Every structure is written in C-alpha cells, then in structure tokens.
Amino acid sequence: MNNAVPPAARKVTLTDVARLAGVSVATASKALNGRKQVRAETRARVVEAAEQLSFSPNELARSLLADRTGTVGLLTNDLEGRFSIPILMGAEDAFGADSVAVFLCDARGDAIREKHHVQALLSRRVDGLIVVGSRTDPRPSLGRELPVPVVYAYAPSEDAEDLSIVVDNVGAGRSAIDHLVSTGRTRIAHITGDPTYGASQERARGALAALGDHGLEPAGEVRFGSWTESWGRAAAAMVLGQHPEVDAILCGSDQVARGVMDALREHGRTVPDDVAVMGFDNWEIFTNGARPTLTSVDMNFERLGRVAAHRLFAAIDGEPRSGIEALDTRVVIRGSTVPG
Amino acid sequence: MNNAVPPAARKVTLTDVARLAGVSVATASKALNGRKQVRAETRARVVEAAEQLSFSPNELARSLLADRTGTVGLLTNDLEGRFSIPILMGAEDAFGADSVAVFLCDARGDAIREKHHVQALLSRRVDGLIVVGSRTDPRPSLGRELPVPVVYAYAPSEDAEDLSIVVDNVGAGRSAIDHLVSTGRTRIAHITGDPTYGASQERARGALAALGDHGLEPAGEVRFGSWTESWGRAAAAMVLGQHPEVDAILCGSDQVARGVMDALREHGRTVPDDVAVMGFDNWEIFTNGARPTLTSVDMNFERLGRVAAHRLFAAIDGEPRSGIEALDTRVVIRGSTVPG
DNA sequence: AAAGTGGCCGAAAAGGTTTTCTGCGACGGT
DNA sequence: ACCGTCGCAGAAAACCTTTTCGGCCACTTT
C-alpha cells in the first residue's frame, strides 16, 4: 500500500535519507547511484530509507555539478500550425525515451521574442536547441556563437554552417508525378497554393522536372493561388474550361485537393475514373473525409522531428554536423488515384 | 557591433564579472539585482563588466536557493489533438509573459508513462503542473499529496478536491439551439459523434433542454455515430428520408457538419435557405472551407489554457481552489445559418 | 609480529548564486 | 575630540548533490 506519489516529496533531501540510514551523505549518494564502494547491506539500508521517505534527487543540484542538465529547448514559431506539432511530437518522442525534458517556447514569428526565449533557455542551461520554422523558406540563423548546439527543423537556417533538417519538397513533387504517371495519367495539371511559399515553388519544380523526364507536357501552367479549398474549386473550374482533356490534377495541399474534388464532382467528372486527384501533406482529417479518400504525399514530419532530435544528441555528444539534410517523403495511395 | 548572442556565454560566471569589476561576488550580485546596498558608481562598473562578458546568471544555482524554479510542467495526452494545442498555446501565452518556462510532456494516454513524467518533472522541481486531457470525460487524479499545485484542463479530475477547468458543453448545446431558434428554425435535428464521449452527450443534453425551453420537439432522436464526415453524410441522408420537413441540423462537430452539408447539397437542399447547419469546435480549416462558411460554437480553448495557467499561478502563490470551473462558449455566426 | 592489501566509509570540495552579518571608513552632532 | 550613525563592501553560509581522497579496520603475507 505505498503511494506511487509521495506524500511529502517537497523537502526530503539526501541528508535526510543518510540520517535515517545511519550513514553519511556521501555513502548514501554512492548507494543510490550504484557506485561500487558500498557494502550490499549498507546499500540496502539506504535504498530502504530512500523509499520510505520517497526521496527524489534534486536534478537542479545534480545539473549544477554535471554541467549537463538533461534539458533541451524547442523553439517553434507556430504552435497552432500543421507542421510544428508533428515535428514536436517526434522530437518529444526521441527525447522522452531517456531522461530528457523539453522546454517548449513559441516565438510567434517575432524575432525579438525569439531572442528573449533563447536567452531564457540559455540561462536555464539547456544542453541544446531545436528551432522549428513555420515555412520551408530559409530563416535567419541564431548565430554561430551559441554555447550549445542548435538544429533547425523544417525551415533551414540561412547559414550553411548550421545544421538544418528539412523535407525534400522537390523530391515530393517528383514522386507525386511518378505515381500519377504510373497509374497511366498523361494530361496532368498542377494547382497549388501561395506562390510566396518555398514549398509551393519546390514542389512545382519537382513536378515539372518529373513530367519532363517522362516526356510529358503539363496541362497548362502551374496555377498558384492560396492554400484554401475555395482556391482549389476556382482553379479546378478554370482548368476544366481550358484543358477539358485533363486526366489528373496534382494539388499543392490536401485542402486545395478537397476544393478541386468538389469542383470536379459538380462538373460531372468522377474521381479517379475521369480525373485522378492528389494532394500534399497527408493531413488525415482531409484525406480520409474526402470522397473517394485522397491520395497524398506524406511529409514524414514526425520522422523529421525524431531525426532533428537525434542530430541534436549527436552534436551534444560532440559529433556536430552542418549543412542541409533533406528527408524523403512517401506517397500514401488512396482512392482518388486508384479505383476502389 | 556587439553580438546580441554572446561568444562565450558558456562558462562566464558571476565570479568573473566580480573580478573584472574589481568587487566581490556579493557586491556583484547585489549590483545586478538592484539591491540598495551598493553605490551607483560601483553598480555601473559591475553592469558594464557583466555586459562586456555577456554574463547570464545561472538559473539552476538561483533556483537551488530560492526553491522556486520558475518552471511548470504541461502534461498532455494527445499532442496531435485538436484540443491540447490551443490550450497549450493559451498556457504558454499566459506563462511566457513573465519569466516562466514550460516543460512539455506527452503521456500518450498511458498512465505508467504519465507517472514517470510526473516524477521526472518533480525531480526537476517544477513549481506546478497543468494536466490536459484528450476528452472531456473525467480522468483519474494525480493524487492529493503532490508537493506542487496541479490544475486539470479540459478533462476534469475525478477528485472534486482538485481544481479542474473545463468547457461548458451543456451550455454550448443550449446556445447552439438558441441561435438556430433565433433565426426562425423550428424543425431541428441533431447529428453528433461518438456516443462514448462525454462531449457528445453533454452537448446533446443541452440542446434538448433548450429545445424544450422553446417549446419545440427535436426532429427525430439524437443520432450518435462517429466524429467523421462520412457519418455526417450518412446520417443526413437518413434525416432527410425520415424528416423531410427538417429546417436545421445541429452537428456535433465541424467535421460532421461538413459531411451533412455535402449530403444536403446532393439532395438538392440549399444551405441556409432550406436548411441551416451548425457545428461545434469552430475549427477554422473546416468552417472557412465550407460552402457556405459554417456557423460553429467556439470552445475558447485558448482562454481555457490561459485560465488554467492563471489558476496555477494563484495556487503557487498560495491561493488554491478546488472543484470544477466551467468556461462558457461563443457562437461564431457564418453563412450556414444566416444568408450571406 | 610487522608490513602490506583491500574493502568500506566519511570528510570535504565543488558547482553558481543570494542573503545575512560583520566590518570599515566617513560624517554629523555634542 | 569622541561617539553614534550611516553608507557601502566583503566574508561566509546556505541550497543539494557528486566525487575525490584519505582513513580506518580486518585480513593476508612474510
């Protein structure tokens, strides 16, 4: 009947344990940490005392000596965002395994606030930082002179000496086209989102390159707009008007794809038989709600977070890297490109 | 040309500052902390020395003395979830203002992992905890004997002695009906999600109560299913078959509402002229993508996070509360209930 | 029996900061 | 000229843990 959560973990210190066990603090410390310099019987007494008092060592004091705190800072810029969260989960996952705690900060895209947070994290002596961007476009470096390693995730640092882990958007565009072509499509249009986003440009570049490799011409220019369903509807209507022969539409995001599918249905085209549709991001609330369910390119954000965390570990352990590491993506095939 | 981020923040300690300023560490400390026991000229010298070395005080050492660390733990159970994130943002927001850092932990719904995380947080001497649930249903308490205050957010604790901040789902159901009735609707159906969720039950209860208050009968039984678009489509078809006179459908979530709107369009009913549609959660990617845009009940999650953070502050400062505090919701009116 | 060996434990320092208390010099008042 | 006061600076303790080093004892070896 011992409580898992101690009644008074507050003030109980190693000194108390030592006193109860009738030994010195030094011995108590060694006993609890498995050092070899202590007799089995003594160790048992100390362990029992510690349990009885539900002793929990003060990590602050421990960190002060070790100058390793076992904490890292996770600096994000859009906590509400579609991208930060899975990355954050992956990182939390990779860290959480061992005894690392994660400080979460949201700078909300404000450079001032970001500097402030970095300072606060440094004063808490984090062992490292992961900086998560909200767009794939390069972002300013935190600087080379930080006392701890930094890994940039999703949005790369402008400084090539920093280490950045990003998604291969060009490759994602290529693999999307490859998939569509492999299902026999040849008259492919591309409707995407905000042209100021690096992601839309890179995906389009990859898609066009792959079309070229297959000896195909795109069905009309790439259509940039916004990352919304309504743009998808509008653009799809335009494509159907100008290129009625179209047999596949690659969409810059799942939301755009939803709009496109709506418009296709209203124009009497069936998916995937008349026209195949495909999105990016594999946001399941969109892909699985669609009729038919939506094929999409998964950006593997969680893996990105995990990789970033591992690279940070390596850097903390003295194995720094630099440059941009692009992770590949994966096509998740559903009903919108291959029949039922 | 001084770098905002110091070249060697790593090892510079108060002792270094004191030496450079030609004073003792005690005086340096007092100078930097604005204590009154130091001459203005001396203070200036210390401050200058600190800046020159870009000194950043070691919070660990400081916390060790103060037994306030200025950190709190945020324990969530679905980091990917729709609910945790805004709550987390609100909390981060409320904390971040001052100099509080947030430890983020995701227990992934596993009680063992949760205990583990609590222990880890306590050993890092957090000043308090916020526990965010993934469903509105009550969850087991962490126990009364924790050495720090705890606030439960979204999912209340089973122990009434704990303090829980939740959303008023019953009130949300009522206000939804009130809105529909105020737009002249009288034949109202309710299609909602998973019946095992407290949220669906409570919203339904509130909706039925409000209907009664207005002297109205619901158009058929409440239809429970799942929180998906496809359920919305299926249920809407059933409602139209059995109650063709229906002039409004209240949906248990925005996703369900999207499905319902799809089905209505396919059955030739226009929204909102023939049938008004309304959702819960005000998830903007769904509400704004819909045609017409979707009226929804906003659960004010961010405010919930902020309130939880403030209550935690109060508790840390010695003003604990207990019981369940329900926050009200707010109807966001869009095109699906009132013509554009 | 003296010297050496090994096992076990405790004293003390270290880590960086804040706070309390003591001390020292200058100054005003008588 | 002496005493008390005041302003300012420094020494030291405190927070909690880990680690190094020295010491003690019992035992083995010659």
How are beta strands B295-298 and A276-280 bridged, if at all? unpaired
CA distance A121 to A131: 12
Cβ-contact A282, A83 below 8 angstroms: no
3-state secondary structure of B165: strand
**DSSP 3-state percent helix, strand, coil across chain A (nearest 5):** 40, 15, 45
Q: Which of residues 86-125 of B touch A (CB under 8 A)?
A: 86, 88-89, 92, 96, 99, 101-106, 115, 117-125
Query: Could you tell me how far CA A268 lies from the centroid of its own chain?
Result: 39
CA distance B119 to A58: 11
Could you tell me the CA-to-CA distances from A301 to A139, A165, A278, B202 in Å, in that order? 18, 11, 19, 35
Cβ-contact A17, A28 below 8 angstroms: yes
Strand partners, B73: B103, B129
Position A6 in a domain? no
In the predicted structure, residue A197 carries a pLDDT above the cut 90: yes
pLDDT at A96: 76
Closest residue on chain A to B232 (Cα): A289
Do A118 and A239 belong together in one domain? no
Query: Choosing among A104, A262, A283, A294, which should be mutated to test the B contact, i.e. which has the most B CBs within 10 A?
Result: A104
Query: Could you tell me how far CA B291 lies from the centroid of its own chain?
Result: 28
Structure tokens at B27: 């005086």
**CATH number of the domain where residue A139 is located:** 3.40.50.2300
> Within 14-73 of chain B, which residues have Cβ less than 7 Å from strand C?
14-15, 25-26, 29-30, 32-33, 35, 37, 55, 57-58, 61-62, 64-66
Q: Report the pLDDT averaged over residues B209-219.
A: 98
In the predicted structure, residue B62 carries a pLDDT above the cut 50: yes
Q: Give, as one character, the DSSP assignment of residue A135.
A: S
Tell me the CA–C1' distance in angstroms for A41 and C3: 30
CA distance A46 to A28: 6
CA distance A274 to B224: 35
Do B163 and B307 belong together in one domain? yes
Structure tokens at A137: 């476009």
pLDDT band at residue A88 using 50, 70 and 90 as cut-offs? confident
CA distance B250 to B277: 6
- Whether the CB of A198 is below 8 Å from some CB of chain B: the reply is no
Do A126 and A218 belong together in one domain? no
pLDDT at B7: 40
- Provide the mean pLDDT of chain B: 93
Q: Report the pLDDT averaged over residues A214-224.
A: 97
B46 CA: nearest nucleotide by C1': D9
Do B234 and B150 belong together in one domain? no
Q: Report the pLDDT averaged over residues B169-186.
A: 98
> Rg (Cα) of chain B, in Å, rounded?
27
> CB-CB: which of B79, B103, B259 is closest to A85?
B79
Length of chain B: 340
Nearest one of A197, A291, A330 to A252, comparing CA atoms: A197
Position A152 in a domain? yes
How many separate helices (H) and strands (E) can be counted in chain A? Answer: 12, 11
Do A292 and A204 belong together in one domain? yes
Tell me the CA–C1' distance in angstroms for A53 and C9: 23
Q: How far is B211 from chain A (nearest CA, A)?
A: 30
In the predicted structure, residue B6 carries a pLDDT above the cut 50: no
pLDDT at B83: 82
CA distance A125 to B25: 21
Could you tell me the CA-to-CA distances from B72 to A4, A55, A249, B304 in Å, in that order? 21, 20, 48, 17
Do A90 and A146 belong together in one domain? yes
Do B224 and B268 belong together in one domain? yes
Position A83 in a domain? yes
At A266-304, the pLDDT tens digits run 999 999 999 999 999 999 999 999 999 999 999 999 999
Residue range(s) defining the domain that contains residue A154: 69-167+301-328
pLDDT at B132: 95
Q: Report the pLDDT averaged over residues B87-113.
A: 87
Exposed e or buried b per residue across B125-164, where buried means at least 16 C-beta atoms within 10 angstroms of its C-beta:
bbbbbbbbbbbbbbbebbbeebbbbbbbbbbbbebeebbb
CA terminus-to-terminus distance, chain B: 56
Strand partners, B165: B153, B325
Q: Report the pLDDT averaged over residues A77-91.
A: 83
Cis previous bond, A156, omega within 30: no
Bigger pLDDT: A239 vs B89:
A239
**CATH number of the domain where residue B44 is located:** 1.10.260.40
Cβ-contact A74, A130 below 8 angstroms: yes
Could you tell me the CA-to-CA distances from A98 to A61, A177, A310, B37 in Å, in that order? 19, 41, 12, 46
At B40-53, the pLDDT tens digits run 999 999 999 999 99
Tell me the CA–C1' distance in angstroms for A25 and D18: 10
Position B313 in a domain? yes
Do A130 and A74 belong together in one domain? yes
Boundary residue ending a domain (B29, B57, B85): B57
CA distance A155 to A134: 7
In the predicted structure, residue A1 carries a pLDDT above the cut 80: no
Do B161 and B309 belong together in one domain? yes
Q: Report the pLDDT averaged over residues A217-241.
A: 97
pLDDT at A9: 43
Q: Which of residues 269-298 of A touch B (CB under 8 A)?
A: 285, 288-289, 291
At B69-83, the pLDDT tens digits run 999 999 998 877 788
Length of chain A: 340
pLDDT at B10: 55
Do A284 and A173 belong together in one domain? yes
- Asked which of A295-304, B6-15, B297-306 is least confident by mean pLDDT, the reply is B6-15
Q: At what angle do helices A14-21 and A40-52 cross, to 10 degrees?
A: 120
B21 CA: nearest nucleotide by C1': D9
How many structural domains does chain A have? 3
pLDDT band at residue B339 using 50, 70 and 90 as cut-offs? very high
Report H helices in A214-280: 229-242, 254-266
Do A144 and A178 belong together in one domain? no
Phi and psi based region of residue A154 (left: phi greater than 0; alpha: psi -120 to 50; beta: remaining):
left
Strand partners, A324: A164
At B156-177, the pLDDT tens digits run 999 999 999 999 999 999 999 9
Tell me the CA–C1' distance in angstroms for B26 and D11: 9
B27 CA: nearest nucleotide by C1': D9
Q: Using the beta-carbon criterion (under 8 Å), do B103 and A101 form an inter-chain contact?
A: yes
In the predicted structure, residue A92 carries a pLDDT above the cut 70: yes
Position A2 in a domain? no
Question: How buried is B319 (Cβ within 10 angstroms: 0-12 exposed, 13-18 middle, 19+ buried)?
Answer: exposed
CA distance A75 to A107: 7
Predicted model pTM: 0.92
Position A333 in a domain? no
Position A8 in a domain? no
Position B114 in a domain? yes
At A143-194, the pLDDT tens digits run 998 999 999 999 999 999 999 999 999 999 999 999 999 999 999 999 999 9
Do B139 and B283 belong together in one domain? no
Could you tell me the CA-to-CA distances from A206 to A210, A239, A252, A327 in Å, in that order? 6, 20, 12, 15
DSSP class per residue in B183-231: TT--SEEEE-S-TTSHHHHHHHHHHHHHHHHTT---SSS-B---SSHHH
